[in-house]
Amino acid sequence: MDINDWIQLIYQAAALIMQTAGIWMILKKCGVKGWHALIPGDRYYRLGIVGGRETDGMIALYADIARIGAQWAFTNVEKTDEYYIVYLMVALIILMIALVYEIRVLLGVLRTFRMKWYWIIPWIFVPWLPAWLMGFNNRFQPVDLGVYDEDELLAGKAPAEIASADSSDSRSGLNIHVRSRSVRQHFSRRYLLKDVNVSIPRGSLVLLLGGSGAGKTTLINAVIGYEKADATITLDGKDVYKNYSEMKYRIGFVPQQDLLRLNDSVMNTLYDAAKLRLPKNVKAKEREEKVNDVIETLGLAGRQNGLVAKKSGGQKKRISIGMELISDPDLFILDEPDSGLDGVIARELFEKLRGIADRGKIVIAITHTPDRVADLFDQVIVLARDSGRCGRLAFSGTPQEAMEFFERDSMEKIVMAVNRTSEGGEGRADEFIARFAELKAERGKA
């Protein structure tokens, strides 16, 4: 090697070190451990997270690993090899894929640091320069993070070691036994729910309570079979998962977002729902009776011929409920049905739900303003995130029992008791999860 080769080698080594150090500091500024910068490919995944482009970062990770393999294979293939051109084309395609997604990732990072898009040009040709500047110059700070902190990224990967008491209740109604609900997240498994065992008798209006990330929506999706868990869900003794083709017609679900055709009448909306939700062998007269029954139950009589678009927020929510209620489900689940409604309208809506439950149905509702309607509920289920950031059962019982158990005088204060301190809560989730497990175990022995 002559002097020019040595100079070039030293420059490349110095540039690589400065680029790695810069990325290390960029990740640290964004709340991610800097050592990820040392791992080829993984650095782009982490940068993708801080830039709000996690999927692009994961593709860039795989492409970067494939590029290293392609480059190694290509350098070990003789030009006289009959497949040389094929190897060359494959290596170029992988290189282009890696470059495209690395650019997408880096554009996300630039956005996070509120830097102009044209900084991508020096990052492509002299990557150490912008990496070093963004990492070590205090003028450049992340202001639009697309990342949770490192603690959040590890959420659910190691649930807290808290004993749970299984429920053996097999009475009629809804019996929920969720052993775990987990997802594969790239190279690891992440737990969203663990050890949730609840029994709900018919005729119950149930409040599902918990802070953000506690697993309320995950539990609902598991119960209705939309996202199955490692669980046994039975309705009147019949397994929901094993008999899903039949049981799905016995379950109604109203999402937070109203899915309505605004330029149609209320009556036509409910008739169309009846055609979709009811078996084909149901006669027209019976279908009409069911539609009229729903209109009467939800207090829509006299308003059924008007356009949906002209209805108030509370009336639109009733129409959404009616579309599911038309099939007369045994289990009815609603995600924030009172969202955007004032206190009087919300109270009136929950009174309608109370009436549906009193007809022998099971109604489960999520609401972020529970105290204005707490007296209408028979049961409250409290989910909480343990210290491992996994959703767990912290309580199940009557609202009065819940306030006695948590020693709080309102539902909202109960949520604050189990919420993390970073969310303004008391951070006592593990304590209450363990206490309730002990309480259930004692009841089981009695």
Provide the token pair at 300.
């829509």
Q: Give the per-residue pLDDT at 84.
A: 66
Q: Which positions ≥6 away from 150 have C-beta within 8 Å?
A: 31, 32, 33
Name the residue among 27, 63, 62 with its Cα closest to residue 46. 27
pLDDT tens across the length of the chain (446 residues): 678 777 888 888 888 888 888 888 888 888 788 888 888 778 888 888 888 777 788 888 887 777 776 666 666 666 665 666 776 777 778 778 878 888 888 888 888 888 888 888 888 888 888 888 888 888 888 875 554 445 555 567 778 888 776 655 556 799 999 999 987 655 567 889 999 999 999 999 999 999 888 899 999 999 999 889 999 999 999 999 999 988 888 998 888 777 677 777 888 888 788 887 777 777 888 888 888 888 887 777 776 777 877 777 777 878 888 888 888 889 999 988 887 777 788 888 899 899 999 999 999 999 888 999 999 999 999 999 998 889 999 999 999 999 999 999 999 999 999 998 877 889 999 999 999 999 888 876 65
Radius of gyration of the chain (CA): 28
Give residue 54's identity as a one-letter amino acid code: E
pLDDT digits (tens, 9 = 90+) for 396-416: 999 999 999 999 999 999 999
Tokens of 167: 């429920």
pLDDT for 224 = 92
Q: What is the pLDDT of residue 148?
A: 44
Locus of tokens 């169309």:
272
Question: For the chain, which domains are there?
Answer: 3-153 (no CATH), 174-445 (3.40.50.300)
SS (H, E, C) the chain: CCHHHHHHHHHHHHHHHHHHHHHHHHHHHCCCCHHHHHCCCHHHHHHHHHCCCHHHHHHHHHHHHHHHHHHHHHHCCCCCCCCHHHHHHHHHHHHHHHHHHHHHHHHHHHHHCCCCHHHHHHHHHCCHHHHHHHHHCCCCCCCCCCCCCHHHHCCCCCCCCCCCCCCCCCCCCEEEEEEEEEEEECCEEEEEEEEEEEEECCCCEEEEEECCCCCHHHHHHHHHCCCCCEEEEEECCEECCCCHHHHHHHEEEECCCCCCCCCCEHHHHHHHHHHHHCCCCCCHHHHHHHHHHHHHHCCCCCCCCCEHHHCCHHHHHHHHHHHHHCCCCCEEEEECCCCCCCHHHHHHHHHHHHHHHCCCCEEEEECCCHHHCHHHCCEEEEEEECCCCCEEEEEEECHHHHHHHHCCCCHHHHHHHHCCHHHCCCCCHHHHHHHHHHHHHHHHHC
Q: Which two tokens stand for residue 23?
A: 């990325």
pLDDT value of residue 232: 93
